[in-house]
């Protein structure tokens, strides 16, 4: 929760988890569950892009949707129940850095 306060984190450590990489904006990470078709992840990526959200693909195949609010994150979670959704709101402690 207070990762933005730890100055000793290296760039490699920040790449491991989206909470460390995008600490000044809210984000939603969608990952495929076991035995879930990657097509669902592609559809979610296409939907996010068409709605105007900034997206990034991670090396493990996950999709991160940036600057998303809770209502939209819940919409993605309901629309794609076969995907694991992890939402992180903006951390207010990181905005003052």
Backbone angles phi, psi at 29, to 5 degrees: -105, 125
Query: What is the structure's pLDDT at 27?
Result: 92
- At 1, the pLDDT band (50, 70, 90 cuts) reads very low
Determine the pLDDT at residue 96: 57
pLDDT at 19 (0 to 100): 57
Rounded to two decimals, the pTM is 0.75
**37, pLDDT greater than 50:** yes
Domain ranges across the chain: 26-94
Strands (E), 34-79: 54-57, 63-66
Q: Cα separation of 39 and 91, whole Å?
A: 32
Look at residue 13 and tell me whether its pLDDT is greater than 90: no
Name the band, by pLDDT with cuts 50, 70 and 90, for residue 87. very high
Q: Which secondary-structure segment (H or E) carries 28?
A: strand 27-32
pLDDT for the residue 34: 84
Residue 49 belongs to what H/E stretch?
A: helix 38-50
Question: What is the CATH number assigned to the segment(s) 26-94?
Answer: 3.30.70.2380
Residue 30 has pLDDT above 90, yes or no: yes
């Amino acid at each position: 929760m207070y990762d933005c306060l730890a100055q000793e984190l290296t760039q490699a450590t920040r790449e491991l988890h989206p909470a460390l990489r995008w600490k000044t904006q809210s984000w939603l990470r969608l990952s495929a569950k076991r035995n879930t078709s990657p097509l669902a992840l592609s559809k979610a990526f296409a939907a996010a892009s068409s709605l105007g959200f900034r997206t990034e693909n991670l090396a493990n195949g996950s999709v991160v949707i940036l600057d998303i609010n809770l209502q939209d994150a819940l919409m993605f979670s309901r629309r794609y129940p076969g995907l694991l959704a992890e939402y992180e709101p903006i951390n207010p402690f990181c905005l003052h850095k």
